[in-house]
Amino acid sequence: MPNIAAVFKQEISRLARKEVRHAMLGLRKAAAQYRRDIARLKRDASRLGGEVTRLQRRVNGGAAPALSEAEAERLRFTAKGLQSHRSRLELSAADYGKLIGVTGQTVYKWEHGAARPRKQQLVALAALRGVGKREAGARLEKLGAKAVAPRKARR
């Protein structure tokens, strides 16, 4: 004859699993809905962030928005990146320096690793990153600096 305690224990376990499964069904549905809501909110936030950036560019006339103190702390600098950006804009070190507010010699030292820009200069460099050749030329003219004529495209 089977042990009544063991049979009773098995029956309790079976009923408990059944109740837990029933209770978990509602929780799973709620969690799935929360995940969908979170994904939708992330998409909306991303879309609105892009819209804010686009509107700031329109208001600022293409200038990059000002960086917060926390964003300024996270800026990175590489000499190679500065050198490639300056060559992409086809500007002399002096003209590039005028856009940032430093001398051409300072830009040269940054590019060759002899010095590093300060935080305020890093912010100016970050604001200049998204600028193209035409915009850089226009800013130089606005500053009253004599811009060097861009070289012809290499093949």
In the chain, % of residues over pLDDT 90: 45
User: 104: how many CB neighbours lie within 10 A of its CB?
Assistant: 15
pLDDT of 119 higher than 70: yes
Residue pair 131/141 in contact (Cβ under 8 Å)? The answer is no
Question: Which of 128, 123, 127, 130 is closest to 72 using CA atoms?
Answer: 123
* Contact criterion met (CB below 8 Å) for 153 and 147: no
pLDDT digits (tens, 9 = 90+) for 3-39: 899 999 999 999 999 999 999 999 999 999 999 999 9
Instruction: Please give the DSSP secondary-structure letter assigned to residue 98.
Output: H
Q: Measured between alpha carbons, how far is residue 21 from residues 13, 15, 61 in Å? A: 12, 10, 59
The Cα–Cα gap between 123 and 68 comes to 10
64, pLDDT greater than 80: no
How distant, in Å, are the alpha carbons of 33, 122, 127 from that of 67? Answer: 36, 10, 8
Q: How much is the mean pLDDT over the chain?
A: 84
* Mean pLDDT, range 59-88, rounded to an integer: 75
pLDDT of 63 higher than 60: no
Mean pLDDT across the stretch 46-70? 74
Instruction: Flag the least confident range among 36-40, 85-89, 100-104, 150-154.
Output: 150-154
For residues 137 and 121, give the distance between their C-alpha atoms in angstroms, rounded to a whole number.
20
Instruction: Answer yes or no: is pLDDT of 50 > 60.
Output: yes
User: What does pTM read for this prediction?
Assistant: 0.51
